[in-house]
Amino acid sequence: MNFSIRMATQDDMAQVLDLIKELAVFEKEPDAVEVTVNDLRTNGFGEHPKFTCFVAEVDYKIEGIALVYGRFSTWKGNVLHLEDLIVSQKMRGSGLGTALLDEVVKYGNQLNVRRISWEVLDWNEPAIDFYIKKGADVKRDWDVVHLNEQGIKNYLSKL
């Protein structure tokens, strides 16, 4: 199978959003995606982009994405965070995920970061096996905490 990996452009964002939504369905949160194509176009490009996106293209269609941005670890300093690594359902197992992760690791190395981080659902065993095989450390004792929009409002109303 022929595919190419390249940096995303603003014109790709509609297809990128389709994949983001597809993943949200897989992760059992179909209604969680509030981001719009315009949000992606505005925030990912221009003078101070808030993320960098790689796309995997097959026959001029985007079948996978990896979206990353910098974070600052108080232990390691500058690190790279992989917010999403998505391959369309029909292209799973075709090597696109590996090719995208390769690109992310090369990019992190270019940026000279001391760590690349991401998050995974603990029941997503195929993903976890894949990451471990790649040398990553799945920190099962670290949990993610979210205070959502309503939580922020409630919190402030009690101050």
Residue 126 touching a copy of itself (CB under 8 A): no
Question: Which residue out of 60, 69, 131, 155 is catalytically annotated?
Answer: 131
Question: How far lies 4's CA from each of 63, 68, 85, 100, 114, in Å?
Answer: 10, 18, 16, 10, 27
Q: Closer CB to a copy of itself, residue 33 or residue 91?
A: 33
Residue 123 touching a copy of itself (CB under 8 A): yes
Residue 135: name the closest of 116, 120, 107 by CA.
116
Does the active-site annotation cover 131?
yes
Residue 33 touching a copy of itself (CB under 8 A): yes
The Cα 17–Cα 15 span in angstroms is 5
Burial grade of 130 (CB within 10 A; 0-12, 13-18, 19 or more): middle
Judged by the rule CB under 8 A, the positions of this chain that interact with a copy of itself are: 20, 24, 29, 32-35, 39, 43-44, 48, 50-51, 67, 69-78, 81, 83-84, 102, 105-106, 108-109, 113-123, 128, 131, 134-149, 151-152, 154-156, 159
